[in-house]
């Protein structure tokens, strides 16, 4: 058993392994399993017009597998026994005889129809922590993008976000690649409950790195509501691929839009008020949703810990209005002019103003019409008399 826990040695591989061990002990020349020379007799010198050519074959001996003495037929397993010549349309190389665990995971995921070599390459396979491997943490997102940018916009959105910047520009090994959120062999659609980005699991996936934010989120109204399949996950408020850092230009409007995906009427009423109008005009210091409600610790408004409840609202307003008192803070930032129960004064004041406006219009229309009729009559009378 190696550290992968899955290396059921077949005889050929066993011999290969033993040979390589002997070889490593004796000299530094890599050894091949019996038979490689027979294959290479034809394949080493083959060119494009002679059919299938492995352009990277010369890299095998230097590669991880080559240097371990793993030879042609360990992978091209359908050529055992080899009769000196073979037909066309061979089976794909078999990796799973040695990598059983990866093979099982791969069969359960969305990539089951993609051969191992689509991601790992064929003869130049490197350990995934080799900086030159296409699957190294700092490079793997580009490898995933080779296929996925033809299938969706996730790669381009990912590239616009803070995580790709951290990974590719700042070289941060602790920033997430596609694999950190999706896994590789077992990548699944987001609608599958076993996917690490399924609604029920995505917060925990973000939380593997942003661990310090989990406790606040877990005690918030959004996590509580999430048990009903609703509520807000990290990805609902921050987007999954084009995640932006707090404070970039346009950030405040983005937050408002994201809260608005679920709280449309509060966003509308917010825009009717002072803070909303000021924010719309680009004024960065006016309060927006998270200045009053918080971000990760948002509670129901009647919860004792709510930042807009009786116990805390004065402090909330005092972040910006030093003189705020409890009475002053009674101002409702979500005045709903259509709701007589919630805001009776505003409701009736608006009804009165609407009525007044209608009355004034009606009065002047009647007045003007009568005036017109009268002046026409007067003109006609004057014409008859002259
Ligand atoms: C680590 C496993 C592995 C070993 C060892 C290996 N191959 Fe391959 N080989 C592959 C994979 C993977 C492919 C890609 C196609 C496939 O999946 O069958 C491939 C493809 C090929 C192709 C077709 C290339 C093409 O352009 O279509 C040839 C020819 C080939 N191998 C010859 C060899 C020879 C000769 C050896 C021994 C010197 C060898 N291979 C050793 C895994 C291996
Ligand atoms: C006598 C010459 C010869 C020998 C020996 C030979 N091959 Fe080939 N091989 C070819 C030719 C020619 C092709 C191209 C077939 C085609 O595309 O029609 C080929 C194609 C392949 C392919 C690609 C097959 C595919 O379906 O695309 C693989 C893999 C391969 N050989 C592996 C091997 C291995 C492994 C050995 C040794 C066990 C070996 N070959 C020995 C001549 C040879
Ligand atoms: C969609 C791309 C993709 C495909 C297809 C794929 N792999 Fe991988 N594989 C990866 C990535 C990415 C990693 C690195 C995982 C990580 O960093 O945790 C990896 C890691 C590995 C590793 C080393 C670490 C481990 O998990 O044991 C082995 C061995 C491996 N793959 C074998 C295979 C085999 C065998 C197949 C085919 C049955 C296969 N892979 C198919 C992308 C892929
Ligand atoms: C004959 C057995 C054998 C075959 C067949 C084989 N491998 Fe391996 N492979 C090994 C061994 C042994 C190692 C080194 C020990 C380890 O890291 O698991 C290894 C290592 C690897 C690694 C590096 C693991 C790491 O830690 O990063 C990858 C990736 C890998 N193999 C992929 C493949 C792929 C893809 C194929 C098929 C094209 C394949 N292997 C075929 C035996 C094999
Ligand atoms: C060789 C092309 C290829 C590569 C490389 C590739 N994928 Fe895929 N991926 C696919 C295909 C094809 C599907 C299946 C789409 C489907 O079933 O609709 C898929 C499905 C997925 C899915 C599930 C989405 C769905 O609708 O099923 C995720 C998530 C995913 N891939 C992530 C990755 C990651 C992460 C990597 C890099 C490690 C990667 N892919 C590399 C081709 C690829
Ligand atoms: C920070 C975590 C994260 C990273 C990094 C990430 N994704 Fe995603 N991805 C998600 C989440 C969450 C979803 C599900 C929600 C959605 O569709 O927006 C998703 C959805 C997807 C889907 C659609 C799955 C489906 O079922 O429709 C694909 C395909 C995908 N991502 C590919 C990628 C690729 C390729 C990369 C790298 C270029 C990547 N993702 C990077 C979190 C991430
Ligand atoms: C209800 C929406 C919402 C949810 C759910 C949410 N966030 Fe946030 N997050 C915000 C807002 C709003 C801010 C900006 C706070 C500010 O401007 O002070 C923020 C800020 C951040 C920051 C930057 C911290 C800073 O102030 O610079 C990170 C990192 C972050 N969130 C990650 C997460 C993670 C991880 C999760 C899931 C555990 C999560 N968020 C859940 C709304 C949310
Ligand atoms: C593999 C670790 C990892 C995972 C998983 C991860 N992140 Fe991050 N995230 C980081 C790192 C590292 C940074 C810092 C980037 C920087 O500051 O340059 C970051 C930055 C952020 C920021 C910007 C913080 C700021 O500067 O304001 C937000 C928001 C964020 N992540 C949200 C998420 C969300 C949402 C998820 C899940 C869908 C997630 N992250 C998954 C590591 C991770
Ligand atoms: C100036 C502070 C302030 C701002 C800015 C603010 N709110 Fe509120 N919000 C409150 C107060 C105070 C209440 C409690 C009203 C009551 O019921 O007495 C409340 C109530 C709510 C409620 C509970 C339902 C309701 O209508 O009473 C939701 C949901 C809500 N706000 C969402 C938002 C969203 C989304 C935004 C951003 C568009 C936002 N809030 C901006 C102070 C604010
Ligand atoms: C994905 C949907 C979603 C997003 C995005 C979202 N929320 Fe919520 N929010 C909910 C659900 C579901 C509840 C619990 C049910 C309810 O009371 O409306 C809730 C509850 C609340 C409450 C308590 C309401 C009450 O009745 O006391 C406040 C305040 C709130 N959210 C503010 C915000 C703010 C601020 C943002 C943006 C930073 C935001 N929400 C983003 C879905 C969301
Ligand atoms: C993040 C800072 C911030 C927070 C927190 C905040 N406000 Fe404001 N508020 C402003 C700014 C800036 C203005 C000035 C906008 C304008 O007049 O154009 C304003 C204007 C107002 C006005 C209109 C005229 C005035 O200045 O008296 C009222 C009323 C008001 N806020 C009430 C509140 C209440 C109540 C709270 C607490 C629930 C609160 N605000 C929290 C920044 C904030």
pLDDT tens digits for range 220-257? 999 988 777 789 999 999 999 999 998 888 888 889 99
Looking at ligand 8, which atom is closest to the CA of residue 237?
35
Residue 328 lies in a domain: no
pLDDT on residue 57: 84
Please check whether residue 51 lies inside any domain of the structure. yes
Within-domain flag for 103: yes
Share the mean pLDDT of the chain: 86
CB 79 within 8 A of CB 72: yes
CA of 64 to the centre of ligand 4 (A): 8
Q: What is the pLDDT of residues 128-155, one digit of tens each?
A: 999 999 999 999 999 999 999 999 999 9
Domain boundary among 71, 95, 125: 125
Instruction: Quote the percentage of the chain above a pLDDT of 90.
Output: 62
Residue 80 placed within a domain: yes
Residue 250: the pLDDT is 81
Ligand 9 pocket test target in 333, 341, 343, 344 with most atoms within 8 Å of CB = 333
Residue 126 CA to ligand 4 center (angstroms) comes to 9
* Domain annotation covers residue 110: yes
Helices (H) and strands (E) in the chain, counts: 20, 0
Domain membership of residue 365 as a residue range: 345-386
Question: Tens digit of pLDDT for each residue in 251-296?
Answer: 888 899 999 999 999 999 999 888 999 988 888 889 999 999 999 9
Where a domain ends, among 94, 125, 156? 125
The pLDDT score that the predictor gives to residue 337 is: 74
Q: 3-state class of 8 per DSSP?
A: coil
211 lies in a domain? no
- The answer to whether 167 and 161 are in contact (CB under 8 A) is no
pLDDT at position 303 over 90:
yes
Query: Any idea which residue has 């296929």 for tokens?
Result: 147
Does any ligand 10 atom lie closer than 6 A to the CB of residue 165? Answer: no
Percent of the chain having pLDDT more than 70?
89
* Cα(289)–Cα(82) distance, integer angstroms: 71
In the chain, how many domains are there? Answer: 2
Assign 353 to helix, strand or coil.
helix
Decide which of 79, 109, 125 is a domain's last residue: 125
Residue 234 CA, ligand 4 centroid: distance in Å: 36
- 101 neighbors 5 (Cβ within 8 angstroms): yes
DSSP 8-class letter at 79: G
Checking if the pLDDT of 25 tops 70, the result is: no
Tell me the CB-side half-sphere exposure of residue 340, using CA atoms within 13 A.
Answer: 3
Q: Determine, yes or no, domain membership for 115.
A: yes
In contact, 230 and 247? CB cutoff 8 Å: no
Out of 183-192, 208-217, 271-280, least confident range: 271-280
Phi and psi angles of residue 245, each rounded to the nearest 5 degrees, phi first: -75, 145
Q: What is the DSSP string of 264-326?
A: HHHHHHHHHSHHHHHHHTT-TTS--HHHHH-SSS---TTSTT-TTSTTTHHHHHHTT-TT--T
Higher pLDDT, 380 or 349: 380
Confidence of residue 15 (pLDDT cuts 50, 70, 90): very low
Instruction: Check residue 53 and give its pLDDT.
Output: 54
Please give the Cα distance from 242 to 166 (Å, whole number).
Answer: 13
Radius of gyration of the chain from its Cα atoms, rounded to whole angstroms: 35
331 vs 201, residue with greater confidence: 201
Number of neighbouring beta carbons within 10 Å of residue 237: 19
Q: What is the DSSP letter of 93?
A: P
- Assess whether the C-beta atom of 140 lies below 6 angstroms from ligand 5: yes
Can you tell me the distance from the alpha carbon of 2 to that of 212, in angstroms, rounded to the nearest whole number?
A: 35
Question: pLDDT tens digits for 59-110?
Answer: 898 899 999 999 999 999 999 888 888 888 888 899 999 999 999 999 999 9
Specify the pLDDT at position 17. Answer: 42
- pLDDT tens-digit readout, 339-367: 777 777 777 787 888 888 898 889 899 99
Nearest-ligand number for the alpha carbon of 329: 11
Distance, in Å, from the CA atom of 329 to the CA atom of 315, rounded to the nearest integer, reads 10
pLDDT interval class at 338 (50, 70, 90): confident
Confidence band, pLDDT 50/70/90 cuts, at residue 196 = very high
Question: Residue 205 in contact with residue 197, Cβ under 8 Å?
Answer: yes
Quick check: is 273 in a domain?
Answer: no
Identify the residues whose C-beta falls under 6 Å from ligand 8: 162-163, 166, 170, 172, 174-176, 180-181, 202, 205-206, 208-210, 234-235, 238, 240, 243, 245-246
């Amino acid at each position: 058993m190696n550290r992968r826990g899955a290396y059921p040695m077949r005889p050929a591989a066993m011999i290969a392994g033993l040979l390589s061990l002997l070889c490593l002990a004796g000299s530094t020349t890599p050894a091949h399993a019996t038979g490689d020379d027979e294959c290479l007799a034809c394949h080493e010198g083959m060119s494009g017009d002679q059919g299938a050519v492995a352009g990277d074959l010369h890299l095998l001996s230097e590669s991880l597998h080559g240097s371990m003495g793993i030879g042609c037929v360990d992978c091209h397993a359908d050529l055992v026994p080899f009769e000196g010549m073979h037909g066309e349309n061979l089976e794909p190389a078999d990796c799973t005889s040695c990598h059983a665990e990866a093979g099982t995971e791969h069969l359960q995921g969305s990539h089951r129809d993609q051969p191992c070599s689509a991601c790992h390459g064929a003869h130049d396979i490197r350990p995934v922590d080799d900086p030159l491997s296409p699957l190294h943490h700092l490079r793997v997102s580009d490898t995933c993008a080779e296929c996925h940018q033809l299938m969706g916009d996730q790669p381009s959105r990912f590239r616009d976000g803070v995580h790709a910047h951290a990974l590719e520009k700042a070289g941060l090994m602790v920033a997430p690649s596609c694999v950190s959120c999706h896994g590789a062999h077992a990548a699944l659609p987001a609608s599958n409950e076993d996917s690490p980005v399924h609604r029920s699991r995505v917060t925990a996936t973000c939380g593997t790195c942003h661990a310090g934010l989990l406790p606040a989120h877990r005690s918030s109204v959004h996590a509580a509501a999430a048990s009903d399949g609703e509520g807000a996950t990290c990805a609902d408020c921050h987007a999954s691929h084009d995640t932006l850092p707090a404070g970039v230009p346009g950030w405040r409007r983005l937050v408002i839009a994201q809260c608005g995906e679920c709280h449309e009427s509060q966003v509308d009423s917010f825009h009717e008020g002072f803070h909303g109008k000021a924010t719309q005009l680009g004024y960065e210091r006016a309060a927006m949703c998270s200045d009053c409600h918080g971000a990760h610790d948002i509670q129901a408004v009647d919860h004792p810990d709510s930042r807009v409840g009786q116990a805390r609202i004065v402090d909330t307003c005092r972040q910006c209005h030093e003189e705020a008192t409890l009475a002053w803070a009674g101002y409702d930032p979500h005045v709903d002019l259509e709701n007589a129960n919630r805001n009776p004064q505003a409701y009736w004041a608006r009804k009165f103003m609407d009525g007044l406006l209608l009355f004034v219009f009606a009065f002047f229309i009647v007045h003007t019409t009568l005036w017109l009729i009268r002046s026409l009559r007067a003109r006609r009378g004057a014409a008859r008399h002259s």
